[in-house]
Structure 1
Amino acid sequence: MSMGRNEFKSGWKVLVAGLLGVMCGASPLPFNTIGFVLGPLHEEFGWSFAIISAGVTAFGITAGLLAPVIGAAADRFGVRTIALTSTFAFALVFAGIGLIPGSLYAWFGMWFLIGLVGMGSTPVTWSRAINMWFYRSRGLALGILLVGTSLAALIVPKVAVWAIGTYGWRGMYPVIALFPLLLSLPIGLAWFREPRTSEIPPEITAGGGLVGVTFAEAAKDRRFWTIWISIALVALAYGGAHIHMPEIIKQHGLTAADGAGIMGMIGIALLSGRIITGWLLDRIWAPFVCLPILTIPALACYWLMGNSTSEAMVWVSAFLLGFAAGAESDLIAYLASRYFGIAHYGKIYGMLYMPFGIFSAISPVAYGRIRDVSGSYDQMLMAATFLFVSGALLLLTLGRYPVFTAKEVTP
């Protein structure tokens, strides 16, 4: 335990910088704002909910496909340059969404650019450094790192609603872009770095390098594809539920202001899910941890069906969904490092982030399409109940964590 405390003593500045980087990066900001422009864009341009949601799909697919490339670049060139450059570029492009004309080409083009320049500001980069600073307390450290997305869910929706009310939907985008420009970028420049050789935990080094398998070896491992499919199923279930939550709750008689409050509460759930899950991962086999966490949201999806759920149950359902999403984000980074090591972590994690990015992006379109055709989200919510359970059960087949030897080393 004292060694775990020593890890936090030496790595806390990097962890804080990474937390703020995740909070203000391309992972949470688009997903915590687009739900509040669905209505305004639909009213102004006549675009369908599915088409508007597909902007995030363009972003997610682009980012997901680029994740292994960015991860490999972080492995080779170090995460500091990749993460900070991407954060700056993402902020500029995100602000630029507010300048687009009423053209779908412009709408999709901007989201494609966000995926292109913003992927390096996601946990793909920040988590590599944290995995290099922490071993005994890795689960908790990753949970704290990913609290950044929880803080974004707590703060950003309220700022977005205020900005839209004050400046319109166009003004909201440059306001939100101030988060990376004025918060995460300065702290990252001051504090974010990889550890020196003497600062790396001894458990993840051998023979002068980091232990772990290559991506080619990981790709031949059944466990890699089991994790990949599980991530895809859960992302497909949750991504659209999060983005369409303001519209889902309207069907139960709640207001836009209630929506901002619920989105903030989801942020608390994400935070709780990440911290609690991270703490448990350091003590209990990961699939056992996630079995209940990823199956309970099936109940939440059931409760959100129809239009007569009580306000209290809507809040409970949103909390359960957010808690599960927090757990899944912890899992991707933790399982990548525990089953495949650190030597080629960036590329392997990038490949495991790919289904998260792609299916989180496809999910909003699926939810929006069901809404456009049927007038409600019920069919998609029913499908999500099965997706959550299937994703949880798959992880039970992973088996024990491997023990890496000195032969599995990258100098």
Structure 2
Amino acid sequence: MAVGNQGARREFGEHWRMMAAASIGFSFTAVITASTGLFIEPLSREFGWSRTLVSSGVSITAVLTFLGSPLFGVFIDKWGTRRMAIPGLILMAGVIASLSLLTGSRIQWFAIWTLYALAALATKSTVWTAAVNSTFDAGRGLALGVVLSGSALAQGIVPPLTNYLIDAFGWRGAYVWLGLGWGALAVLLSVVWLRDGYDISRRKRMAEPACSASASLLDVPGLSVSEAWRNPDLWRIAISTFVIMTATVALIVHQIPILEEVGVGRTTAAFYAGLAGLVGILGKLVTGVLLDRYPARWVGGITIAATSMTYVLLLWPGAPTAVIVLAMMINGYAGGTKLQLVGYLTAAYTGMRKFGTIFGAMASLIAAGSGLGPVLGGWIHDTWGSYEVLLWGGFGITLLSSLLLFGLRAYPSWSGEAGSPGAG
């Protein structure tokens, strides 16, 4: 549906504050991923850790998120997003700041990242995607783009900011500033403005106690969990999501060392990474507009396929500056849309009846790919002494992901009765 129609304009006029809070909240959850590459060198130098170990923090989070996401998805259906996001953001801010207290103990490292994983479960993409999908209909694609641009905002600001903070305050001070500074803003906006469709439904149920017997807050059409499990289109979305997350998160976490490997200095590499993140905001907004106008399978397939060019360009021996910048711009524009696409596609193919539970399972695959990618990237470098194998693998994986999306059927219309989709 066109973004410029009256329904979409009304939705944005009524709910822009919720979008702002969700976007900043989601941006905070991307701070660690976007900054890890800049901490690899100082942590390895101070404690003698391998790149695989330093990268393992993100992977620990991913493993625990993989295990816990379905359960937390159920919690969203029962309690809504606000009651998940605010405590999670507070815990996340404290845990990021606590990384400044590292002593070189691996047990301490693993313990801190285990706590971070608990915060991540309450604040990852499931929460923010559910907030948007429960609130928007006519402008859902663009609304998802705006909110999920939070991660692109973080990828644009965090690398140069972290580089500055490390130079000015050391790596310990950088962790404190990132955790308590960015985190305070995210918590404040969520407390004041994070009011979505789940809260509207909760107020309605309080006014009509007879409605409170349902296990889900939202009384809307959609597939049951068992129906979703048997849906072949959801399997395509799930596999596509897993493989693209494996490739792209590996590239995000290791992008600074990859750029250094082709002759780019750390400060310049941080600038390029930041620029790519900012271009990602444009990618999400344009993709959002396209999703509201054209079939998501075509929008997603073409966008993800474009990401494969990043890996080819970074493999160019002695690549000139223009080629490296182009590679980062393509990755920033196209690669940053993956969460937006899976959130939109999941809601389109399942409806919102059990969205939290179903997308919680999708989030497990997102976490699995996010966890495998960084460790795989570190292992590849430790084994072969370069990132060339990683880049070739990323090229093939992104093409596979796009082909899976191209093969999706038309999605149903959920304007009828619950559980009874019409033809799409």
When normalised by structure 2's length, the TM-score is 0.91
Query: Paired residue for 2:387?
Result: 377
- The whole-number CA distance in structure 1 between the counterparts of 2:270 and 2:103 is 27
- The whole-number CA distance in structure 2 between the counterparts of 1:164 and 1:229 is 38
- The whole-number CA distance in structure 2 between the counterparts of 1:320 and 1:138 is 24
- CA offset at residue 96 of structure 1? 0.8
Query: Paired residue for 1:400?
Result: 410
What is the correspondence of 1:76-95 to structure 2 with a 5 Å cutoff? 76-95=78-97
Assess if the C-alpha contact under 8 Å between 1:88 and 1:180 holds in 2.
Answer: no
Query: Paired residue for 1:16?
Result: 20
RMSD: 1.8
Query: Paired residue for 1:203?
Result: none
Note if 1:329 corresponds to 2:333. no
Larger deviation, residues 262-271 vs 79-88: 262-271
Query: Paired residue for 2:247?
Result: 237
Query: Paired residue for 1:349?
Result: 359
- CA offset at residue 227 of structure 1? 0.7
- The whole-number CA distance in structure 2 between the counterparts of 1:330 and 1:127 is 8
What's the CA shift string for 1:248-303, capped at 9, x where partnerless? 11112111111211111121222122111111001111111122211122222012
- The whole-number CA distance in structure 2 between the counterparts of 1:163 and 1:198 is 42
Query: Paired residue for 1:67?
Result: 69
- The whole-number CA distance in structure 2 between the counterparts of 1:71 and 1:61 is 16
Going from structure 1 to structure 2, the CA distance change for 1:305 and 1:199 (only over 3 Å counts) comes to farther
Assess if the C-alpha contact under 8 Å between 1:306 and 1:378 holds in 2.
Answer: no
Question: Of 98, 111, 127, which residue of structure 2 is paired with 1:96?
Answer: 98
Amino acid at match of 1:218: A
Query: Paired residue for 1:156?
Result: 158
Amino acid at match of 1:16: A
- Other structure's SS at 1:90 match: helix
Structure 1 gap segments, 5+ residues each = 201-207
- The whole-number CA distance in structure 1 between the counterparts of 2:27 and 2:407 is 32
- The whole-number CA distance in structure 2 between the counterparts of 1:373 and 1:32 is 24
Assess if the C-alpha contact under 8 Å between 1:63 and 1:115 holds in 2.
Answer: yes
Amino acid at match of 2:17: K
Assess if the C-alpha contact under 8 Å between 2:96 and 2:179 holds in 1.
Answer: yes
Aligned-pair identity (%) = 28
Structure 2 gap segments, 5+ residues each = 205-217
What's the CA shift string for 1:30-64, capped at 9, x where partnerless? 11111001111111122111121111111112123
The ranges of structure 1 where at least 4 consecutive aligned residues each deviate by more than 4 angstroms after the TM superposition are: 197-200
What is the correspondence of 1:4-43 to structure 2 with a 5 Å cutoff? 4-25=8-29, 28-43=30-45
Going from structure 1 to structure 2, the CA distance change for 1:303 and 1:101 (only over 3 Å counts) comes to same
- The whole-number CA distance in structure 2 between the counterparts of 1:82 and 1:327 is 24
- The whole-number CA distance in structure 2 between the counterparts of 1:343 and 1:284 is 24
Amino acid at match of 2:24: L
What is the correspondence of 1:168-247 to structure 2 with a 5 Å cutoff? 168-195=170-197, 196-197=200-201, 209-247=219-257
- The whole-number CA distance in structure 1 between the counterparts of 2:358 and 2:202 is 25
- CA offset at residue 306 of structure 1? 5.7
- The whole-number CA distance in structure 2 between the counterparts of 1:252 and 1:127 is 37
Assess if the C-alpha contact under 8 Å between 1:72 and 1:346 holds in 2.
Answer: yes
Query: Paired residue for 1:360?
Result: 370
Going from structure 1 to structure 2, the CA distance change for 1:306 and 1:372 (only over 3 Å counts) comes to farther
- The whole-number CA distance in structure 2 between the counterparts of 1:236 and 1:323 is 18
- The whole-number CA distance in structure 2 between the counterparts of 1:355 and 1:319 is 26
What is the correspondence of 1:297-312 to structure 2 with a 5 Å cutoff? 297-305=307-315, 307-312=317-322
- Other structure's SS at 2:262 match: coil
Amino acid at match of 1:3: G
- The whole-number CA distance in structure 2 between the counterparts of 1:82 and 1:362 is 26
Query: Paired residue for 1:205?
Result: none
Query: Paired residue for 2:208?
Result: none
Note if 1:288 corresponds to 2:292. no
- The whole-number CA distance in structure 1 between the counterparts of 2:176 and 2:348 is 39
Assess if the C-alpha contact under 8 Å between 1:87 and 1:180 holds in 2.
Answer: no
- CA offset at residue 197 of structure 1? 4.9
Assess if the C-alpha contact under 8 Å between 1:4 and 1:136 holds in 2.
Answer: yes
Assess if the C-alpha contact under 8 Å between 1:252 and 1:310 holds in 2.
Answer: no
What's the CA shift string for 1:288-343, capped at 9, x where partnerless? 11222111222220121265111211111111112222221111110111000111
Amino acid at match of 1:285: P
Query: Paired residue for 1:143?
Result: 145
- The whole-number CA distance in structure 2 between the counterparts of 1:122 and 1:309 is 36
- Other structure's SS at 2:220 match: strand
- CA offset at residue 199 of structure 1? 11
- CA offset at residue 180 of structure 1? 4.3
Amino acid at match of 1:346: G
What's the CA shift string for 1:233-260, capped at 9, x where partnerless? 1111111111111111111211111121
Question: Of 121, 130, 134, which residue of structure 2 is paired with 1:132?
Answer: 134
- CA offset at residue 108 of structure 1? 2.0
Question: Of 391, 394, 397, which residue of structure 2 is paired with 1:387?
Answer: 397
Query: Paired residue for 2:260?
Result: 250
- CA offset at residue 78 of structure 1? 1.4
Aligned residues: 400
- The whole-number CA distance in structure 1 between the counterparts of 2:38 and 2:266 is 8
Going from structure 1 to structure 2, the CA distance change for 1:93 and 1:198 (only over 3 Å counts) comes to closer
- The whole-number CA distance in structure 1 between the counterparts of 2:162 and 2:182 is 15
Assess if the C-alpha contact under 8 Å between 2:100 and 2:176 holds in 1.
Answer: yes
Assess if the C-alpha contact under 8 Å between 1:269 and 1:326 holds in 2.
Answer: no
What's the CA shift string for 1:60-112, capped at 9, x where partnerless? 12123222221211110111111111110111111111112202222122112
- CA offset at residue 382 of structure 1? 0.3
- Other structure's SS at 2:32 match: coil
